[in-house]
Amino acid sequence: MTLKDDLSVIVGEAFTAEGLDHTLGAVKSADRPDLAQFQCNGALPAAKLAKKNPREIAQAVAARLGDASQFSEVSVSGPGFINLKLADEFMSAQIEAVNDGSRFGGWLHETPEKIVIDYGGPNVAKPLHVGHLRAAIIGESLKRILRFAGDDVTGDVHLGDWGLQMGQLISELQIRQPDLVYFDPAQSGPYPVESPINLQDLEEMYPVASAASKADPARADLARKATKELQDGRPGYRALWKHFVDLSVAAMKKDYADLDVEFDLWKGEADADPLIPELTEDLKARNVIEESDGAQIIHVARESDKKEMPPIIFVNSQGAVGYHATDVATIVDRKRELDPDRILYVVDARQRLHFEQVFRAVERAGYYAEDHLEHLWFGTMNGKDGKPFKTREGGTLKLRHFIDMVTDRALERLKENGFADGYDVAETNEVARQVGIAALKFADLSNPRTSDYIFDLDRFMAFEGKTGPYLLYASVRVRSVLGKAKAAGAGDPGPVQVGEAAERDLGLVILNFADVLRETYEKRMPHILCDHAFSLAQAFSKFYAACRMVDEADAEKRASRLSLASIAGGQLDLVLSLLGLDAPERM
């Protein structure tokens, strides 16, 4: 249970004693922090049910709470708001209870689930670019949050490795190097272990092949035929495909590692393809699939729909499969291999119709419950012009270049602020990477997932305000204070005894963590946790300014404040790790 849960039980019992429903005792954070820390508005709906004056009910409930040891003050304001201030002794005991050195009061899901989270979606042969950033950052954070809450979570990158782009690449390479053994229909292997092209060749070929297919119907037909032959199992094409995938994945893993993003599975559409023939026959037997102009389609529209809902094309008229079919098959594959309770997709908002179609299709087929499939869509990261982030020349910015850009800017800021003094080059560069990635990630995560946002590198790289670098500095500052206390022989942390306003404010933020984590989990919104991290850093800064620690003469106060600092620092580091931010040892 969280602190608000505990308080709601106490206040609920007072409502019950007045002959009213205990759920009316729900407690929330106070709208007026100057009046109280928490409030209960239950007297207002209670008055309608009991046909009494709400203020009269509130006063009766407040009177019953007057002797409760948890509160130092209970008052009534307005039409019947019950205001609650925690007793210092109660707050101190609650803070002590979360000082376990690991969870720091973090909420645990009462009924843990097995979850697959799909949050990569890069395409083979295309370098990762800024358009891949939000899925990686949001998905990694959600994976960590769900795991910390107790769920068994598997992260899957889900590569785009089986569509038309593969046929475009194969046909382009055949035009360029027709004598390669892979194109000899009489040859069935073995094929060379070394790829006939390198990563740079692959990245150069794809846009050329794609543009040619759009401009020339004959080239488009070659690409479609190559795609069909690849999916039908032509050995040479499968061998080339394997080279393309291996080259791309090696580069992707490096870029994702620089973002501190890790996947448990590196599966793709190709892994689901072997299931397509079986599923096609099964769907026919279930009367879910039907033929239309030579294609196999699934109708997913419902009578209750208020908008047009097109059918999905499971197999096209040429016998090839697309994203709808592989996504349906991927759900079946995950069900068989992992049997998850829930599957989450962190994919941008433009794919909302696609996932609604897929989710409806698997529900109609009886493969998976639609309400256990979640599309956690997100908005776009835009430049200062309000349009999707591009290079100065208007092109798509590679993720590798973007990471280098923020790292270089972080290094400049560190040097400007004197934080790099005394570091060796390797340490300086590593801290710059951590600061740059923190700026990048926090800028993204601190905005609601469903919103677009403007990426402003100078603002996000600031060492003050609501930024990633500020949070890293706050973490380093706590460790520095504790280190100085130890070096000065200030003694060990001891029992928490809050008494000053700044101590109460910091303690309250610490105790709010469980409620924040639950809300973040339930809404799948990391920005809620970002707000908590910023509030915690701010509260510690005010506490540090108002309350002496290292040189506090009173030994009990000194020990208590060192404990508060240690708990705040531990919880901040934990929250940063859940967001995917890594604080350096010093800055």
Write the pLDDT tens digit of every residue in 83-109.
999 999 999 999 999 998 899 999 999
Task: Clarify whether residues 303 and 424 are in a common domain.
Answer: no
- Tens-digit pLDDT profile for residues 298-355: 999 999 999 999 999 999 888 878 889 999 999 999 999 999 999 999 999 999 999 9
pLDDT for 56 beyond 90: yes
Task: Clarify whether residues 67 and 181 are in a common domain.
Answer: no
What contacts 178, CB < 8 A, 6 or more positions away? Answer: none
> Where residue 562 falls among pLDDT bands split at 50, 70, 90?
very high
What contacts 105, CB < 8 A, 6 or more positions away? Answer: 97, 98, 510, 511, 513, 514, 571
CA-CA distance, 212 to 194, in Å (whole number)?
Answer: 27
Whether the upstream peptide bond of residue 196 has omega within 30° of 0, thus cis, is no
C-beta neighbour count of 352 within 10 angstroms: 12
Residue in this structure with the two tokens 């370098």, named with its chain if needed: 127
pLDDT for 478 beyond 70: yes
The SS3 assignment for 24 reads: helix
Residue in this structure with the two tokens 């020349």, named with its chain if needed: 393
Residue in this structure with the two tokens 């509260």, named with its chain if needed: 539
Task: Clarify whether residues 449 and 573 are in a common domain.
Answer: yes
In this structure, are residues 587 and 431 in contact, taking their beta carbons and an 8 Å threshold? yes
Alpha carbon of 102 to those of 19, 148, 582: distances in Å?
42, 11, 16
pLDDT of residue 506: 98
Task: Clarify whether residues 483 and 542 are in a common domain.
Answer: yes
Residue 530 maps to which CATH number?
1.10.730.10
pLDDT of residue 587: 83
Element (H, E) at 153: strand 152-156
Residue in this structure with the two tokens 């070394």, named with its chain if needed: 194
Q: Is the dihedral of CA 364, 369, 371, 377 positive or negative?
A: negative
CA-CA distance, 394 to 36, in Å (whole number)?
Answer: 52
pLDDT of residue 385: 83
pLDDT for 227 beyond 70: yes
Strand partners, 115: 153, 342
Angle 518-521-523 (CA atoms, 0-180°, nearest 5)?
A: 105
Residue in this structure with the two tokens 């070929």, named with its chain if needed: 205
CA-CA distance, 572 to 576, in Å (whole number)?
Answer: 6
CA-CA distance, 332 to 286, in Å (whole number)?
Answer: 15
In this structure, are residues 240 and 227 in contact, taking their beta carbons and an 8 Å threshold? no
Mean pLDDT for 505-523 is 98
Does 106 map to a domain? no
Does 109 map to a domain? no
Angle 403-404-407 (CA atoms, 0-180°, nearest 5)?
A: 85
Mean pLDDT for 413-439 is 87
The SS3 assignment for 506 reads: helix
The two most distant CA atoms of the chain are separated, in Å, by 92
Compare 384 and 192 and report the one with higher pLDDT.
192
In this structure, are residues 229 and 237 in contact, taking their beta carbons and an 8 Å threshold? yes
Residue 141 maps to which CATH number?
3.40.50.620
Share of the chain above pLDDT 70, in %: 99
Q: Of the residues 375, 409, 427, which one is the last residue of a structural domain?
A: 375
Count: domains in the chain: 4
pLDDT of residue 395: 67
> Where residue 6 falls among pLDDT bands split at 50, 70, 90?
very high
Does 502 map to a domain? yes
Task: Clarify whether residues 25 and 45 are in a common domain.
Answer: yes
In this structure, are residues 113 and 152 in contact, taking their beta carbons and an 8 Å threshold? yes
Mean pLDDT for 354-362 is 98
Does 231 map to a domain? yes
Task: Clarify whether residues 248 and 284 are in a common domain.
Answer: no
Task: Clarify whether residues 182 and 310 are in a common domain.
Answer: no
Q: Of the residues 68, 86, 104, which one is the last residue of a structural domain?
A: 86
B/e letters for 108-121, b = 16+ CB within 10 Å, e = fewer, are eeeeeeebbbbbbb
pTM for the whole thing?
0.94
What are the backbone dihedrals phi and psi of residue 555, each rounded to the nearest 5 degrees, phi first? -60, -40
B/e letters for 166-190, b = 16+ CB within 10 Å, e = fewer, are bbbbbbbbbeeeeebebbeeeeeee
> Where residue 392 falls among pLDDT bands split at 50, 70, 90?
low
pLDDT for 384 beyond 90: no
Encoding tokens for residue 511? 């105790």
Alpha carbon of 499 to those of 56, 93, 571: distances in Å?
33, 13, 21
Task: Clarify whether residues 247 and 281 are in a common domain.
Answer: no
pLDDT of residue 391: 63
Encoding tokens for residue 195? 């790829």
pLDDT of residue 394: 59
CA-CA distance, 544 to 225, in Å (whole number)?
Answer: 68
Least confident of 21-35, 131-145, 381-395, 569-583: 381-395
- Tens-digit pLDDT profile for residues 111-145: 999 999 999 999 999 889 898 999 999 999 999 99
pLDDT of residue 586: 85
Beta strands at 342-345 and 373-375: parallel, antiparallel or unpaired: parallel
Task: Clarify whether residues 427 and 487 are in a common domain.
Answer: yes
What contacts 387, CB < 8 A, 6 or more positions away? Answer: none
> Where residue 417 falls among pLDDT bands split at 50, 70, 90?
confident
pLDDT of residue 360: 98
Mean pLDDT for 401-425 is 87
Does 104 map to a domain? no
DSSP label at residue 310: P
CA-CA distance, 38 to 247, in Å (whole number)?
Answer: 56
- Tens-digit pLDDT profile for residues 241-267: 999 999 999 999 999 999 999 999 999
pLDDT of residue 115: 98
Angle 40-42-44 (CA atoms, 0-180°, nearest 5)?
A: 120
Does 16 map to a domain? yes
Q: Is the dihedral of CA 283, 289, 291, 296 positive or negative?
A: negative
CA-CA distance, 587 to 582, in Å (whole number)?
Answer: 12
Residue in this structure with the two tokens 């272990």, named with its chain if needed: 193
pLDDT of residue 386: 83
In this structure, are residues 375 and 352 in contact, taking their beta carbons and an 8 Å threshold? yes
CA-CA distance, 241 to 312, in Å (whole number)?
Answer: 26
Compare 280 and 416 and report the one with higher pLDDT.
280
Task: Clarify whether residues 459 and 570 are in a common domain.
Answer: yes
pLDDT of residue 424: 85
Q: Which range marks the domain in which residue 365 is found?
A: 114-159+267-375
- Tens-digit pLDDT profile for residues 195-212: 999 999 999 999 999 999
Task: Clarify whether residues 439 and 526 are in a common domain.
Answer: yes
Mean pLDDT for 488-495 is 94
Task: Clarify whether residues 411 and 543 are in a common domain.
Answer: yes
The SS3 assignment for 44 reads: helix
Q: Of the residues 258, 282, 301, which one is the last residue of a structural domain?
A: 258
CA-CA distance, 130 to 345, in Å (whole number)?
Answer: 19
Compare 524 and 390 and report the one with higher pLDDT.
524
pLDDT for 486 beyond 90: yes
Does 434 map to a domain? yes
In this structure, are residues 170 and 230 in contact, taking their beta carbons and an 8 Å threshold? yes
pLDDT of residue 393: 60
Does 29 map to a domain? yes
In this structure, are residues 268 and 226 in contact, taking their beta carbons and an 8 Å threshold? no
Residue 21 maps to which CATH number?
3.30.1360.70
pLDDT of residue 560: 97
Average pLDDT over the chain, rounded to an integer: 94
